[in-house]
Structure 1
């Protein structure tokens, strides 16, 4: 099995989640430049808007980056694939839909493909379709989640057992301990979203960052479960309104209207917490600082190494029992 370094040509086994319409070139370029894999999230943007972002990322870094295409969320999946090919984007991440028809188009142009999955069945299908890597995302993750609600700690080892390609762990990861744990569960690296919001380069509103700094372990909520949708958001005034609406009865049309990307941008970028929502993973309770991306990645790698050494030393104390 090839390593993430060999497949993606990155220094650290850390990649950025898509982040939908709050994705931006500044943060993407900073993550790639620091040694991770920055990701442009297409969200519901037009091909013209994504084209501009790709150009801006290329101006900010010469290192590899990724384009996330949420297949059933965007109306432009085919056009975005063509855009990735035209710009020779080295990596494309496919999520929220069947990637089978798109993978061959990307492989033909030498583009590596990551597929986001949330179950063993989907992982095996993605591998059979030709995915180069998998992101296995647990229920702890921010934003849209699988209705299967399998947690990261349970999901990663089962998928790692079921496939032969590298698995990247996502959901509830924001520090070196999370990276170390993911590696021990059988993953080859991690994907993070929420933790990257609380960095100096992230151009999100200060109200978003401040809310993450002050979050506790119980400060994320699930909205949409009653209509077969699972979205994890941060506890805010707007989130409270959403929960009240769902308790009174929610339709799928209302869910779509209440959680469209405009309302995501309204809170995350404009700071309007009364009229928009903030996606957040459960890892929010671990965030206590706003470092630069470079500092964050270096700290994660250092802490992961220390944790793995501690774990090895601890395990040796029990060796007399074997």
Structure 2
């Protein structure tokens, strides 16, 4: 067992997190992660209404008695979701851990903390991590350039980003991006993180509620099979490389606007990828860590393997590098 500030602060057995993923953070996956001793997050906005979120929280509780959380991603929109109602649903549900992402969480913190909820905020830069810490969040999850989804615009990988963030804040830090096995876990801890967050790796597990063909596609992919889209729009997203992502890049290269690519990148098409199993049906998120994913384990098998192998690396391989002083 690995004990860190994260495990102590959040009451989780292992320093491993399954962050919120649109269309994926559902009861089946989150409960399996929780049962394995890690921290899983339901994705609030995957549920059509706050009332549906309450039902999904209850469904998760029927599958596990271990702690889990809810992700609330706050994004600018012409017609934004009813964030206050989702927030109220979370508070009234008795969930004690929330992951916020996207925009500044300041408007949500008083209610969450008032309900005794600990908040982890996801950031993509040191400056945003520092800002979140000054607002009073309980931990920061920092996304390196390797991550799936939105890695920010600074293009800083975790080898630099994690220790820089660890130097700048004094609350638990979770490393996210490019981590899929025990080596990544140990490396993140060595860099100053207190836990790791994994999206793509948990996407490719037995309990993940996506089509088997997409899981097999992740296994088949290498670390070179992602694309960065929306670069020209300053809203970079890392997605699995496919026919659609290549077309989006072509349109951007030729000076196209967001309206020109909108039909290609709709969330509805991305959801159909997961439901129908056609990897070229739309845009779907995947990180560089695809190159390290070679199987489709259960969440229990994955977590047990990571924690066990991490302990072996720390106890055997790393200590072996320390030269013993010569005896006189």
Q: Same fold (TM over 0.5)?
A: yes
1:270 to 270, 276, 295: 276
1:59 to 38, 59, 62: 62
- 1:92-122 superposed Cα distances (whole Å, 9 cap, x missing partner): 1000000112112101110010000111111
- 1:194-215 superposed Cα distances (whole Å, 9 cap, x missing partner): 0011111112111211111111
2:131 equivalent to 1:129: no
Matched with 1:32 is 34
SS at match of 2:72: strand
Would the aligned equivalents of 1:14 and 1:189 in 2 still touch at CA under 8 Å?
yes
Q: Which runs of 5+ in 1 are unaligned?
A: none
- 1:20-72 superposed Cα distances (whole Å, 9 cap, x missing partner): 12321100111011100111112364323322221211111111111111111
Shift of 1:311: 4.4
Bigger shift: residues 304-313 or 95-104? 304-313
Matched with 2:24 is 22
Q: Which runs of 5+ in 2 are unaligned?
A: none
1:43-58 paired onto structure 2 within 5 Å: 43=45, 45-58=48-61
Q: Once superposed, what is the RMSD of the aligned Cα atoms?
A: 1.8
Shift of 1:216: 1.1
Compute the TM-score of the two structures, normalised by the length of structure 1.
0.94
Compute the TM-score of the two structures, normalised by the length of structure 2.
0.92
1:110-121 paired onto structure 2 within 5 Å: 110-121=116-127
Would the aligned equivalents of 2:251 and 2:260 in 1 still touch at CA under 8 Å?
no
- 1:114-146 superposed Cα distances (whole Å, 9 cap, x missing partner): 000111111111111110011011011111221
Would the aligned equivalents of 1:20 and 1:261 in 2 still touch at CA under 8 Å?
no
2:93 equivalent to 1:87: yes
SS at match of 2:276: coil
1:294-313 paired onto structure 2 within 5 Å: 294-313=300-319
Would the aligned equivalents of 1:266 and 1:276 in 2 still touch at CA under 8 Å?
yes
Would the aligned equivalents of 2:214 and 2:278 in 1 still touch at CA under 8 Å?
no
Bigger shift: residues 283-292 or 248-257? 248-257
Following superposition, which runs of at least 4 residues in structure 1 exceed 4 angstroms of deviation? none
Matched with 1:206 is 212
- 1:235-278 superposed Cα distances (whole Å, 9 cap, x missing partner): 22222222222223331334455323212211122213333122
Instruction: Tell me, in whole angstroms, the C-alpha distance in 2 between the residues paired with 1:256 and 1:103.
Output: 33
Instruction: Tell me, in whole angstroms, the C-alpha distance in 1 between the residues paired with 2:136 and 2:22.
Output: 25
Would the aligned equivalents of 1:22 and 1:269 in 2 still touch at CA under 8 Å?
no
Instruction: Tell me, in whole angstroms, the C-alpha distance in 1 between the residues paired with 2:12 and 2:111.
Output: 23
